[in-house]
Amino acid sequence: MRKESRRVLVIGATGQIGSELTPYLRKIYGSSNVIAGYHKRKPSGTLAKGPSVYVDVCDRRSIEEAVKKYDIDTVYHMAAILSAAGEKNPQLAWKVNVEGLYNVLEAAREYDLRVFWPSSIAVFGPKTPKYNVPQDTILCPTTMYGVTKVTGELLCKYYIDKYGIDVRGVRYPGIISSETLPGGGTTDYAVEMFYAAIEHKKYVCFVREDTVLPMMYMPDAIKAAIMLMNADRSKLTYMVGYNVSGMSFSAGELAAEIKKHVPDFEVEYKPDFRQKIADTWPKTIDDSVARKEWGWKPDWDLKSMVKDMLEKLKKKILHY
Ligand code: NAD
Ligand code: AKB
């Protein structure tokens, strides 16, 4: 029988989500039981307080060495090249996102690991319905990132069916957070806008004012991962690629909500290549399957998220 999960490796631990997920997991399992797997950027600050190890997902040996060295039983695989960065280097996006996932799944097969692997709303494309996208729908993305996420969902399902591996995951919307800046996505403007409001009172936004996308605040993103990993497997019919919804708003609505706290904040809209990507993604998500199968429910909305983000960033940037 599998021992209770207690030795965790977070791959991509210094990224936007990993940098907050890792400390959270350390609170649950104990600092020495959660290993921060880093690639180019080494852990710093609170992340550096626990154990860390170099992992390149494109090199299967480095995954296996970390798993063996720290007697790992659960992997949170957060390493990826996101949508905008992926359009600049599609070959790298395929290598890291697909070959990297394949290596993690092979290690999971070999060492009986449980895996959390996030997909994204980027699996959807121009032919997907724009509103209340159901769990089962058309997955025809036009970005390499989206292609790798659809491939990843299928690959995970194959390993679940063929080898019985316990891989679980959600389709995250754009994640908003205050600890680490996002790493090359299309939804990055929603985070950048906060920093700009505090630092310069002016932001040049790379999508149009009326661009509506699904978003989620980091505490809900972490909650979704933990809830799904703790869910009763017998109740999970999908295992990976669960739609999860947080909130949806336009860039203009976000700016207006920030302006309530920072009255002299101004935004100029200058769409670039990321507008085309945003236009292919849906505006709202139907997450009723996640709610039914593992009790998913977000805690944060636009108003509460904006207030909390500004408080956290003021402390971080202005030190009060
Ligand atoms: P991020 O870009 O901030 O971090 C990714 C991490 O992967 C970085 O620390 C990077 O160093 C690491 N990495 C890159 N290449 C690597 C390699 N070859 N080996 C090991 N590590 C490597 O990404 P994130 O925002 O933290 O996203 C984490 C996961 O969640 C990804 O799978 C992403 O697709 C997914 N996701 C994120 C969002 C979001 O808005 N942040 C939304 C949907 C899905
Ligand atoms: C991106 O914009 O690429 C990510 C995502 C939605 O997957 N934030």
In order along its 320 residues, the chain shows pLDDT tens digits of 454 558 999 999 999 999 999 999 999 999 999 999 999 999 999 999 999 999 999 999 999 999 999 999 999 999 999 999 999 999 999 999 999 999 999 999 999 999 999 999 999 999 999 999 999 999 999 999 999 999 999 999 999 999 999 999 999 999 999 999 998 999 999 999 999 999 988 999 999 999 999 999 999 999 999 999 999 999 999 999 999 999 999 999 999 999 999 999 999 999 999 999 999 999 999 999 999 999 999 999 999 999 999 999 999 998 86
Task: Give the side-chain half-sphere CA count within 13 A for 99.
Answer: 12
- Answer yes or no: do 142 and 67 share one domain: yes
pLDDT at residue 200 in the model: 86
Q: Which residue has the tokens 């085309």?
A: 276
Report which DSSP code applies to 155. Answer: H
Query: Are the CB atoms for 204 and 268 separated by under 8 Å?
Result: yes
- Answer yes or no: do 48 and 118 share one domain: yes
- Answer yes or no: do 147 and 230 share one domain: yes
Please count the helices (runs of H) and the strands (runs of E) in the chain: 12, 14
Task: Kindly tell me the sign of the dihedral angle through the C-alpha atoms of 244, 247, 249, 251.
Answer: negative
Report the nearest-CA residue for atom 8 of ligand 1. Answer: 15
- Per-residue burial over 209-232, b if 16 or more Cβ lie within 10 Å, else e, is bebbbbbbbbbbbbbbbebbbebe
pLDDT at residue 290 in the model: 98
Reported as type and span, the H/E element at residue 37 is strand 34-38
Task: Give the side-chain half-sphere CA count within 13 A for 242.
Answer: 31
Give the residue from 227, 243, 259 where a domain finishes.
243
Test site for ligand 1: of 9, 117, 172, 245, most ligand atoms within 8 A of the Cβ: 172
Query: Are the CB atoms for 77 and 57 separated by under 8 Å?
Result: yes
- Answer yes or no: do 183 and 225 share one domain: no
Annotated catalytic residue within 70, 145, 159, 203: 145
Test site for ligand 1: of 22, 39, 116, 213, most ligand atoms within 8 A of the Cβ: 39
Report which DSSP code applies to 272. Answer: -
DSSP per-residue letters across 59-74: -HHHHHHHHHHTT--E
Asked if the structure places residue 270 within a domain, the reply is yes
Taking the whole predicted model, whether its pTM rises above 0.95 is answered as yes
Report which DSSP code applies to 130. Answer: S
- Answer yes or no: do 164 and 58 share one domain: yes
- Answer yes or no: do 254 and 150 share one domain: no
Q: Is 145 a catalytic residue?
A: yes
Ligand nearest to the CA of 172: 1
CATH code, 191: 3.90.25
Output the CA torsion 317→48→219→205 (10° steps): 40
Q: Give the CA distances from residue 314 to residues 29, 199, 244, 274, 318, in Å, rounded to whole numbers and listed in that order.
A: 30, 9, 29, 28, 5
pLDDT at residue 319 in the model: 82
Distance CA(156)–CA(219), nearest Å, equals 25
How would you class 37 by CB atoms within 10 Å of its CB: exposed for 0-12, middle for 13-18, buried for 19 or more?
buried
Report the nearest-CA residue for atom 5 of ligand 2. Answer: 174
- Answer yes or no: do 80 and 210 share one domain: no
**What total number of domains does the chain contain?**
2
Asked if the structure places residue 292 within a domain, the reply is no
Distance CA(65)–CA(42), nearest Å, equals 18
Question: Judging by DSSP bridges, how do beta strands 170-172 and 242-243 pair with one another?
Answer: parallel
- Answer yes or no: do 163 and 231 share one domain: yes
- Host domain of residue 198: 176-215+247-283+300-317
pLDDT at residue 1 in the model: 43
Q: How many CB atoms lie within 10 A of CB 30?
A: 13
Task: State the Cα angle at 319 between 313 and 249, rounded to 5°.
Answer: 10
